[in-house]
């Protein structure tokens, strides 16, 4: 590896300190290093074409930023979590010193994860976890679902989640959706507290085109990874499908790591 980027969670002193420590080590190995706030995706984007690896420092929210900016250039991400939680991150902060030499030596494996492409009004947005049409107030909205242009149902609900395998362990899971293995290509369509329409999740193939059409009153948004909100007006339609880009994560753990993570993160402490 010749050039590595470090994207860190801003306004967290521990993240910036660790970022400088990583840069110091990598530069001592003759590697060119650049640093940037993970929240500033536009500033990081121009660095991607010449970058071999991005180290993301923070929590899963930071890694979502990293994935959206690295995926179009197929740059792998090594996630370092601050604190105890982190479903997508690979390492704890105490493990990075031992792991970095392994990674730059080419050890480990690459896990590829499906991303979504949401189209709204001619604009396209990437998401690693999910694209959610939801109400901005505490009230129900009507959302008509079509798949490949064919009408399926109209939900009267708090909203509708379209999730990847990665997102299946997040908001979709909390709303009652199924868990998919990380590298699965399928799409989950999960209503949020549906009063009318299908109440259970739909599991669709990876080549499905999902349409969500907001009916009735205003006050809805398209939320991408819970980090970007785009206002929706009555009559607007959002189309969601899998992206041609995939998020790539460096893993040092065994390929079966996900099963232990399920128990630890979602099922309580292991006994």
Q: Which active-site residues does the annotation give? A: 60
State the residue for tokens 């604009």.
123
CB contact at 8 A, 210 and 145:
yes
Q: Are 155 and 162 in contact (CB under 8 A)?
A: no
Which residue(s) pair with 66 in the sheet?
none
The Cα 141–Cα 197 span in angstroms is 12
Are residues 170 and 129 in contact, defined by beta-carbon separation less than 8 angstroms? yes
Measured CA to CA in angstroms, residue 148 lies from 7, 151, 250 at distances of: 37, 9, 34
Q: Is residue 45 classed as helix, strand or coil in its secondary structure? A: helix
CA–CA separation, 153 vs 208, rounded Å?
16
Buried b (16+ CB within 10 A) or exposed e, 226-253: eebebebeeebebbbbbbebbbbbbbbe
CA distance 147 to 151: 7
């Amino acid at each position: 590896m010749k050039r590595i980027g470090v994207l860190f969670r801003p306004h967290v002193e521990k993240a910036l300190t660790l970022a400088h420590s990583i840069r110091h080590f990598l530069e001592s190995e003759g590697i060119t290093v650049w640093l940037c706030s993970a929240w500033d995706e536009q500033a990081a984007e121009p660095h991607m074409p010449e970058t071999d690896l991005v180290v993301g420092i923070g929590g899963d929210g930071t890694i979502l930023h990293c994935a959206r900016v690295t995926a179009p250039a197929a740059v792998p991400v090594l996630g370092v979590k601050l604190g105890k939680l982190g479903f997508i991150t690979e390492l704890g902060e105490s493990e990075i010193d031992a792991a970095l030499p392994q990674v730059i030596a080419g050890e480990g494996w690459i896990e590829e994860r499906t991303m979504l492409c949401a189209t709204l009004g001619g604009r396209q947005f990437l998401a690693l976890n999910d694209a959610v049409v939801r109400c901005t107030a505490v009230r129900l909205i009507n959302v008509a679902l079509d798949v490949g242009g064919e009408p399926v149902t109209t939900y009267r609900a708090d909203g509708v989640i379209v999730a990847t395998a990665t997102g299946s362990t997040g908001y979709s899971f909390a709303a009652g959706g199924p868990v998919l293995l990380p590298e699965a290509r399928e799409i989950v369509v999960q209503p949020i507290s549906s009063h009318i329409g299908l109440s259970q999740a739909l599991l669709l193939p990876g080549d499905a085109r999902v349409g969500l059409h907001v009916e009735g009153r205003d006050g809805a948004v398209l939320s991408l990874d819970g980090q970007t909100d785009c206002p929706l007006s009555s009559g607007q339609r959002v189309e969601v499908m899998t992206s041609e880009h995939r998020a790539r994560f460096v893993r040092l753990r065994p390929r079966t790591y996900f099963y232990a993570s399920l128990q630890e993160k979602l099922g309580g402490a292991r006994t």
